[in-house]
């Protein structure tokens, strides 16, 4: 039988298909999808849920399910979760609201993780250069559940950023989703409870939830400032004493004539 010869038209189609499926093209598609999702969220204005609630045809468990799906899509579109958690507590109360928020959180994380893994991983992994990026990637890949649990529990860590960082790493689906479901509960519960008791802002339950939220913010801000100082110290070659042990373990040595609490990278 004669072997079919690839003609110019067929070759052009093959090359076009390869270009469309390339890593850069898929990354571009991810950026377009995220931009479109953010635009849709701005037009829809999910904060209206706090004032208007869900449409009247959604009641009971069906309303919680619809809200959880909408919650997941909103978080994938980079809508802030605290706003959605407050709305969940306002609409459904503490128990049903927490169930809806946690379900929506896991769904949104899964959507973002899947998009990042399918469309962005191949293009972004070659960019993981430098000690900090490679160390973070190694930590997420080797200690998936533990690392993700810490990131989900710790206040102030961007939810969407963690989703896409995990997608670029070698982390698998099960530890990512399981750690997300467990780690998001404390902070989510605080916002949901605050939303459920917003009509009585002087109640002990509301004040306790508000206190937890404010304390979490304070801890997150303090750690962020400390890390920023540590990064600046690394850039100057001098590390504050708070991280001297870490640098020494990595091979750093103290420099004579400097502050006793300073270590210089070598």
Tell whether 168 is covered by a domain.
Answer: yes
Residue of 2 and 43 predicted with greater confidence: 43
Q: What pLDDT is attached to residue 256?
A: 45
Q: Do 155 and 220 share a structural domain?
A: no
Give the chain's domain count: 2
Tell whether 214 is covered by a domain.
Answer: yes
- State whether the Cα torsion 135-240-218-186 is positive or negative: positive
Tell whether 49 is covered by a domain.
Answer: yes
CA distance linking residue 261 with residue 103, whole number of Å: 46
Q: Do 150 and 51 share a structural domain?
A: yes
Tell whether 149 is covered by a domain.
Answer: yes
Is residue 254 over pLDDT 60?
Answer: no
**Among 21-30, 58-67, 72-81, 133-142, the least confident range:** 21-30
CB 139 within 8 A of CB 170: no
Report if pTM > 0.75: no
Q: Do 152 and 27 share a structural domain?
A: yes
Tell whether 15 is covered by a domain.
Answer: no
Tell me the three state secondary structure of residue 188: helix
Residue-wise pLDDT for 226-242, tens only, equals 767 776 666 565 444 44
CB 120 within 8 A of CB 168: yes
Question: What does the mean pLDDT of the chain come to?
Answer: 77
CA distance linking residue 164 with residue 131, whole number of Å: 19
**Phi, psi angle pair for 253, to nearest 5°:** -135, 150
**Among 11-15, 123-127, 171-175, 199-203, the least confident range:** 11-15
Averaged pLDDT, 110-132: 79
CA distance linking residue 97 with residue 93, whole number of Å: 5
Q: Do 253 and 129 share a structural domain?
A: no
Q: Do 222 and 110 share a structural domain?
A: no
Q: Do 182 and 64 share a structural domain?
A: yes
The boundaries of the domain holding residue 192 are 20-199
Is residue 67 over pLDDT 70?
Answer: yes
Q: Do 57 and 148 share a structural domain?
A: yes
- Distance, CA of 194 to chain centre: 22
**Which residue, of 173, 199, 225, is where some domain finishes?**
199
Averaged pLDDT, 96-112: 95
Q: pLDDT class for 21, splitting at 50, 70, 90? A: low
**Which residue, of 145, 169, 199, is where some domain finishes?**
199
Q: What pLDDT is attached to residue 89?
A: 92
Q: pLDDT class for 24, splitting at 50, 70, 90? A: confident
Tell whether 1 is covered by a domain.
Answer: no
Tell whether 104 is covered by a domain.
Answer: yes
Q: Do 193 and 165 share a structural domain?
A: yes
Tell whether 10 is covered by a domain.
Answer: no
């Amino acid at each position: 039988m004669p072997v079919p010869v690839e003609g110019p038209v067929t070759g052009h189609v093959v090359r076009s298909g390869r270009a469309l499926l390339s890593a850069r093209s898929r990354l571009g598609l991810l950026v377009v999808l995220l931009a479109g999702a953010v635009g849709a969220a701005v037009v829809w204005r999910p904060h209206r849920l706090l004032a208007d609630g869900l449409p009247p045809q959604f009641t009971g468990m069906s309303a919680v399910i619809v809200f959880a799906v909408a919650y997941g899509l909103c978080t994938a579109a980079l809508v802030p979760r605290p706003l959605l958690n407050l709305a969940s507590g306002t609409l459904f109360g503490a128990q049903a609201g927490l169930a809806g928020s946690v379900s929506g959180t896991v769904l949104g994380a899964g959507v973002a993780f899947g998009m990042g893994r399918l469309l962005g991983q191949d293009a972004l992994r070659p960019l993981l250069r430098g000690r900090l990026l490679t160390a973070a990637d190694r930590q997420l890949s080797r200690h998936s559940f533990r690392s993700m649990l810490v990131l989900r529990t710790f206040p102030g860590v961007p939810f969407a950023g963690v989703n896409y960082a995990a997608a670029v790493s070698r982390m698998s689906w099960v530890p990512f989703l399981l750690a997300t479901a467990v780690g998001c509960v404390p902070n989510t519960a605080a916002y949901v409870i605050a939303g459920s008791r917003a009509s009585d802002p002087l109640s002990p339950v509301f004040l306790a939830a508000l206190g937890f939220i404010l304390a979490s913010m304070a801890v997150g801000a303090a750690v962020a400032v400390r890390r920023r100082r540590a990064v600046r110290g690394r850039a100057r070659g001098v590390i504050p004493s708070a991280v001297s042990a870490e640098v020494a373990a990595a091979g750093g040595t103290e420099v004579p004539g400097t502050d006793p609490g300073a270590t210089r990278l070598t």
